[in-house]
Amino acid sequence: MYRTHTCGQLRITDTGTTVTLAGWVQRTRKMGGMTFVDLRDRYGITQLVFNEEQNAELCDEANKLGREYVIQVTGTVNERYNKNKNLPTGDIEIIVDKLNILNSSDTPPFTIEDNSDGGDDLRMKYRYLDLRRQCVRQNLELRHRMCIEVRNYLSNLGFLEIETPILIGSTPEGARDFVVPSRMNPGQFYALPQSPQTLKQLLMVAGIDRYFQIAKCFRDEDLRADRQPEFTQIDCEMSFVNQEDIIQTFEGMAKHLFKSLRGIELNEPFLRLPWADAMRRFGSDKPDMRFGMEFIELKSETENFFADKAGFAVFDDAKYVGGIVAEGCAVYTRKQIDQLTDFVKRPQVGAKGLVYARVQEDGSVKSSVDKFYTPEQLIAMKEKMQAKPGDLILILSGEDAMKTRKQLCELRLEMGERLGLRDKNKFALLWVTEFPMFEWSDEEQRLMAMHHPFTHPMEEDIPMLDTNPAAVRADAYDMVCNGVEVGGGSIRIHDPKLQAKMFEILGFTPEKAQEQFGFLMNAFKFGAPPHGGLAYGLDRWVSLFAGLDSIRDCIAFPKNNSGRDIMLDAPSAIDQKQLDELDLIIKEN
Amino acid sequence: MYRTHTCGQLRITDTGTTVTLAGWVQRTRKMGGMTFVDLRDRYGITQLVFNEEQNAELCDEANKLGREYVIQVTGTVNERYNKNKNLPTGDIEIIVDKLNILNSSDTPPFTIEDNSDGGDDLRMKYRYLDLRRQCVRQNLELRHRMCIEVRNYLSNLGFLEIETPILIGSTPEGARDFVVPSRMNPGQFYALPQSPQTLKQLLMVAGIDRYFQIAKCFRDEDLRADRQPEFTQIDCEMSFVNQEDIIQTFEGMAKHLFKSLRGIELNEPFLRLPWADAMRRFGSDKPDMRFGMEFIELKSETENFFADKAGFAVFDDAKYVGGIVAEGCAVYTRKQIDQLTDFVKRPQVGAKGLVYARVQEDGSVKSSVDKFYTPEQLIAMKEKMQAKPGDLILILSGEDAMKTRKQLCELRLEMGERLGLRDKNKFALLWVTEFPMFEWSDEEQRLMAMHHPFTHPMEEDIPMLDTNPAAVRADAYDMVCNGVEVGGGSIRIHDPKLQAKMFEILGFTPEKAQEQFGFLMNAFKFGAPPHGGLAYGLDRWVSLFAGLDSIRDCIAFPKNNSGRDIMLDAPSAIDQKQLDELDLIIKEN
């Protein structure tokens, strides 16, 4: 036993007790004849006191302690004269009479404080020092607690956590696989799972009934911001259920997690929004519902507000015109509006321009299109937009309704940000449902599964598979929180005939389907139950609960955007002997 | 909702209720005008009744149901006339009035019963059908419960479960790594972790203090019986602890698991046996302590019972002579003893022969070496062996004491088996401690770390590192249950200087050590705390609790001895496009 207490444990009621603590030297301060040392461990910080007058030799030793030295001290708990209200241990200090240096430390390359001076690369290279910072460690603690809560919640509902293998077969559908050469089967490769999707479906065929797994998944993608080559999913599947059963179960889990981890009671049922409505009203399949600013359409499949009032070619030639109302933003300066115009014209957003209209205090409208429309037309427009005096109307238009909606969505989020409506401590959850079954791929010149090829179509849309597959909706659902898709899933196909038809629509020959998914299609011949499920992105969900901007900080040892672990310096070259054993040659470029 | 109840739920108190069930057809029986169907799901079996007289059409449909069809039925709970005491639902049956076939099934390739007619290969190919068998599914349920118990137990003690990466760097020390080519870093490879050993030590440097993880580990070894290329470890590490702290913590966890999962109270502290004693008394570093039959040495480093009584060259020339007493086995026939002689002479055991001595009812001794020793010598030997009338003494001898002890260990286990002393429902746990630090490798012509190069030597043996490293004992410990090593670990080195010396003894140049373990040695420069830990083999531990002979049956989708998943048909060839993206060429042989 190196210690009797942790550095976060002692209180005023412990005064007079002899204790032994161990931890890291956070900082030392010399004041008069006293040396103060802040001793830190995972649990907190305790102040140590060395008195030169009482023990000069010991105090001398303390003065030599460097930052991050590991020490063990024995002493007496004493009430502090200057109490520190910011620390749970701030009422006491330890009058030290024994000091044992357990390990020294080189000077760390950055300060071990919440506000560190370390840049991202340095922090990642010395991640073991970065993790000593309370603000980083707390994310891992939250992640741990979330996993414990998820496991106990699902286990209590009869779900079994079942480990599925990491070394499986490669299936080229979907993202790119990481592959693992097999030494015992030369020329052959395992693949790392992109998700346990097919395996959990096999578990349903196996009668497991309720399965979950907090599972590592792997995708060899070019890493956009905030993607990791390995990530973690809360992966779930149930048998003999329909969409409603799954939504009930996992909405319950979400509410439980908010309550137990954040103390937030979400009493109302989550909103459910069909995909088409979400796109129409918010331009997104993952709308941020912490604020309104819904789209109002002036021209679309169903609207044509400016019809017969033509004059402005940009609107007249557009397939879609729609806008949002920024409350109280009529005061925006020309410069601020120019910034917004620049924002929507950035290549990442891609709009051609921005039309704005300020609603004056007297109800009249001052807009960037005054010369094309009469004041009456603009007032009618304002009314259509439900804008009040003092509001700013922002309008986008374009050839392609869906593209323009997505641009308007970016503008809406930007305005939400500017107006402080995207509060990290507020959570707005909803289910987006009725996704399209397929999306057209220009690259592949074929319909692709929007979710994956095992998704069940909505029962009433099945006849359209033959006549108009592009219009078929999927029995699929995403859980969205604050504009982030935190989870999603679907009812799966359990009928081998329907599955075969699906592969046909997706352009698989029966041979190709058999080659890639034969193991699953064969299994479905032996009594597959109706089933469905969903998966949460654990990293994303922890980030959301922790209020992080990036998933990186809730992962102990993340990789950078080149897929490198710069602490371990991985990946790296391997020995020729290893390559030989695997019968592999690296191509010279 | 496909069902109101599961197939394991209904009882006599539910009589009269209208219920809907869903599940698989286990079997159908036609008796008179009635058709009985056993409906099965994960939770149990419920008998369905179709009455030809009351509903001929429905009964007709029921008669067409094949094995493993998936059906949904609605009906009324009825008290059974012939109650089945072997089923929790055996008091009731369902009088069905609605039948819905959810899916049909081909005839399964083996019977879905505890006593299946399916061979191992067939069961593995159709693992999703094999898992429908209660006896297999129960192992997965036990595994799930064990993981939940472990997690909650450790979490309550302040341990944080932290996920360490699966894509790390290759370290040639130890077993062979599986490697993963990196597309984004051409010519470079990730490795899959053989264990999170170095990463958990980095977490201790990071101040995590108490870490655990139920972690997937990977070893590309030629698979002996009961090894898997991927397996699961309960991996733990603690800071500011010594061996006693770790033993206390994990002995507590073991006791908790036995109590919560098997209802067994283990109240006594586990025996602790230094490695040298374990080898001397049982010839094994993982002795099966469910029974006695301890070795008694007649000739060894410290004994020389037959000294000056020479005559039998086999004993006279041996470095070691030792035996065991098989109680009541004097009645063994010549044939039985020949079997034992054959057993010890098998190449897997490797003894040259077996000496035996029967203790007669009158206390005299009849042995295979009667012509070499006087009756008085044999009676003295019997007394030395503490054998009673009716006992059989079995003696091995050899040139190499350690080798002979291991042979005698095999004989002891075989006798334990024959005498029914290795009861699967009895559990004998102990700690084996004071392992040698190093073992000599004839192949590599150098000392190798017996555990791994980060193991701390026993404090008092540190001076011997310079003078006699082969005699240094490690601060290491294994938990052993019923002759199986279920877990093991050590106190780690936290002093960079001691670590450098260790690498030197193991034959690493400073450059090689830096190349392979630089990331860890660098981390240790920044204040590594004293730390240690252990890891349990989860698969092995579940098998032990479940009374299985192989770890394979507690793994959902195991691989065979060639590392293949025959259900998924993995590993397999990959597309040329995938190889090209990875800059890899497969060598033609």
User: In this structure, are B298 and B265 located in the same domain?
Assistant: no
* Res B446: pLDDT: 83
* Subunit contact A563:B185, Cβ cutoff 8 A: yes
User: In this structure, are B157 and B61 located in the same domain?
Assistant: no
Is residue A109 assigned to a domain? no
Q: Is B157 on the interface with A (CB under 8 A)?
A: no
Which of B132, B184, B199 to probe the A interface (max A CBs under 10 A)?
Answer: B184
pLDDT tens figures, B193-228: 999 999 999 999 999 999 999 999 999 988 777 789
Q: At what angle do helices B243-262 and B538-546 cross, to 10 degrees?
A: 40
* Subunit contact A42:B183, Cβ cutoff 8 A: no
Q: Which one has a higher pLDDT value, A223 or B560?
A: B560
Q: Is B420 on the interface with A (CB under 8 A)?
A: no
For A85, the domain range is 12-103
User: In this structure, are A76 and A196 located in the same domain?
Assistant: no
Q: Count of alpha carbons within 13 Å of A369, Cβ hemisphere only?
A: 26
Counting one residue from chain A and one from chain B, the pairs whose CB atoms sit within 8 A come to 366
User: Nearest-CA residue of chain A relative to B577?
Assistant: A172
User: In this structure, are B65 and B152 located in the same domain?
Assistant: no
Count the domains in chain A: 3
CATH number at residue A39: 2.40.50.140
Q: Is A245 on the interface with B (CB under 8 A)?
A: yes
* Subunit contact B586:A187, Cβ cutoff 8 A: yes
Is residue A6 assigned to a domain? no
Instruction: State yes or no: pLDDT of B308 exceeds 70.
Output: no
Q: Is A38 on the interface with B (CB under 8 A)?
A: no
Put simply, the chain B residues between 288 and 317 with a CB less than 8 A from any chain A CB are none
User: Nearest-CA residue of chain A relative to B206?
Assistant: A128
Q: Is B566 on the interface with A (CB under 8 A)?
A: no
* Res B202: pLDDT: 97
Q: Is B362 on the interface with A (CB under 8 A)?
A: no
* Res B165: pLDDT: 98
Chain B residues whose CB is inside 8 A of the A69 CB are: 527
User: In this structure, are B502 and B549 located in the same domain?
Assistant: yes
* Subunit contact B2:A41, Cβ cutoff 8 A: no
ipTM: 0.95
CATH number at residue A342: 3.30.1360.30
∠ CA(B575), CA(B580), CA(B586), 5° rounding?
Answer: 75
Classify residue A463 as exposed, middle or buried by CB count within 10 Å of its CB (0-12, 13-18, 19+).
exposed
* Subunit contact A40:B152, Cβ cutoff 8 A: no
Is residue A559 assigned to a domain? no
Which of A20, A184, A531 to probe the B interface (max B CBs under 10 A)?
Answer: A184
Chain B residues whose CB is inside 8 A of the A556 CB are: 162-165, 199, 203
| Average pLDDT value over all residues in chain B | 94
The 3-class SS string of A288-343 reads CCCCCCCCEEEECCCCECCCCCCCCHHHHCCCEEEEEEECCHHHCCHHHHHHHHHH
Asked if residues A100 and A61 have their Cβ atoms less than 8 Å apart, the reply is no
Q: Of B399, B418, B437, at which residue does a domain stop?
A: B418
User: Nearest-CA residue of chain A relative to B203?
Assistant: A128
Cα separation of B201 and B271, whole Å?
A: 28
Chain A residues whose CB is inside 8 A of the B245 CB are: 1
* Subunit contact A188:B573, Cβ cutoff 8 A: yes
Chain A residues whose CB is inside 8 A of the B541 CB are: none
Per-residue pLDDT, averaged over B151-167, amounts to 98
Give the minimum alpha-carbon distance from A516 to chain B in angstroms, rounded to a whole number. Answer: 10
Give the minimum alpha-carbon distance from B383 to chain A in angstroms, rounded to a whole number. Answer: 46
* Res A137: pLDDT: 96
* Subunit contact A529:B178, Cβ cutoff 8 A: no
The 3-state DSSP class for residue A530 equals: coil
User: Nearest-CA residue of chain B relative to A69?
Assistant: B527
* Res B516: pLDDT: 83
Question: Which of B551, B428, B558, B529 minimizes the C-alpha distance to B482?
Answer: B428
pLDDT tens figures, A553-578: 999 999 998 999 999 999 999 989 99
User: In this structure, are A261 and A298 located in the same domain?
Assistant: no
* Subunit contact A202:B128, Cβ cutoff 8 A: yes
* Res A224: pLDDT: 73
* Subunit contact A166:B141, Cβ cutoff 8 A: no
Q: Which helix (H) or strand (E) holds B78?
A: strand B70-79
Is residue A124 assigned to a domain? no
* Res A309: pLDDT: 62
Which of B552, B574, B577, B583 to probe the A interface (max A CBs under 10 A)?
Answer: B574
Where do runs of H (alpha helix) occur along B425-535? 464-467, 496-505, 510-523
Is residue A460 assigned to a domain? yes
* Subunit contact B128:A166, Cβ cutoff 8 A: no
Asked if residues B286 and B480 have their Cβ atoms less than 8 Å apart, the reply is yes
User: Nearest-CA residue of chain A relative to B496?
Assistant: A103
> CB neighbours (10 Å) of residue B460?
9
* Beta-bridge partners for A128: none
Out of A42, A191, A564, whose CB is closest to B185? A564
Out of A6, A170, A568, whose CB is closest to B169? A568
User: In this structure, are A151 and A259 located in the same domain?
Assistant: yes
* Subunit contact A571:B525, Cβ cutoff 8 A: no
Encoding tokens for residue B328? 């009541």
Asked if residues B188 and B180 have their Cβ atoms less than 8 Å apart, the reply is no
Q: Of A387, A418, A449, at which residue does a domain stop?
A: A418
* Res B310: pLDDT: 66
Classify residue A474 as exposed, middle or buried by CB count within 10 Å of its CB (0-12, 13-18, 19+).
buried
User: In this structure, are A409 and A437 located in the same domain?
Assistant: no
Q: Is B176 on the interface with A (CB under 8 A)?
A: yes
Q: Is the dihedral of CA A540, A542, A547, A548 positive or negative?
A: negative
Report the predicted TM-score, pTM, of the whole model to 2 decimal places: 0.95
User: In this structure, are B181 and B68 located in the same domain?
Assistant: no
Question: Which of B198, B176, B180, B199 minimizes the C-alpha distance to B190?
Answer: B180
Out of B525, B563, B585, whose CB is closest to A587? B585
* Subunit contact B232:A1, Cβ cutoff 8 A: no
What is the distance of C-alpha A448 from the center of its chain? 25
Give B262-318 as a DSSP string: H-----SPPEEEEHHHHHHHHSSSS--TTS----EEEESSS-BTTTT----HHHHT-
Per-residue pLDDT, averaged over B138-150, amounts to 98
* Res A308: pLDDT: 60
Least confident of A517-526, B72-81, B143-152: A517-526
Asked if residues B71 and B22 have their Cβ atoms less than 8 Å apart, the reply is yes
CATH number at residue A209: 3.30.930.10
Chain A residues whose CB is inside 8 A of the B241 CB are: 1-2
Chain A residues whose CB is inside 8 A of the B140 CB are: 160, 162, 208
Give A217-262 as a DSSP string: EE------TT--SEEEEEEEEEES--HHHHHHHHHHHHHHHHHHHH
Is residue B566 assigned to a domain? no
Asked if residues B239 and B529 have their Cβ atoms less than 8 Å apart, the reply is yes
Chain A residues whose CB is inside 8 A of the B222 CB are: 184
Is residue B396 assigned to a domain? yes
Put simply, the chain A residues between 506 and 565 with a CB less than 8 A from any chain B CB are 519, 523, 525-530, 555-557, 559, 562-565
User: In this structure, are A354 and A438 located in the same domain?
Assistant: no
User: In this structure, are B267 and B145 located in the same domain?
Assistant: yes
* Subunit contact B131:A207, Cβ cutoff 8 A: yes
User: In this structure, are A300 and A356 located in the same domain?
Assistant: yes
Chain B residues whose CB is inside 8 A of the A127 CB are: 202, 206
Per-residue pLDDT, averaged over B98-121, amounts to 93
Q: Is B459 on the interface with A (CB under 8 A)?
A: no
Per-residue pLDDT, averaged over B430-454, amounts to 89
pLDDT tens figures, B522-554: 999 999 999 999 999 999 999 999 999 889 999
pLDDT tens figures, B311-365: 788 999 999 999 999 999 999 999 999 999 999 999 999 999 999 999 999 999 9
Give the minimum alpha-carbon distance from B30 to chain A in angstroms, rounded to a whole number. Answer: 22
Which stretches in chain A have pLDDT values below 50?
A: none
Is residue B178 assigned to a domain? yes
The 3-state DSSP class for residue B211 equals: strand
Q: Which helix (H) or strand (E) holds B218?
A: strand B210-218
pLDDT tens figures, B232-266: 999 999 999 999 999 999 999 999 999 999 999 99
Which of B3, B68, B128 to probe the A interface (max A CBs under 10 A)?
Answer: B128
* Res A444: pLDDT: 81
In sequence order, the 6+-apart residues with CB closer than 8 A to the CB of A518 are: none
Q: Is B105 on the interface with A (CB under 8 A)?
A: yes
Out of B6, B191, B202, whose CB is closest to A128? B202
Cα separation of B213 and B95, whole Å?
A: 49
Cα separation of B435 and B285, whole Å?
A: 9
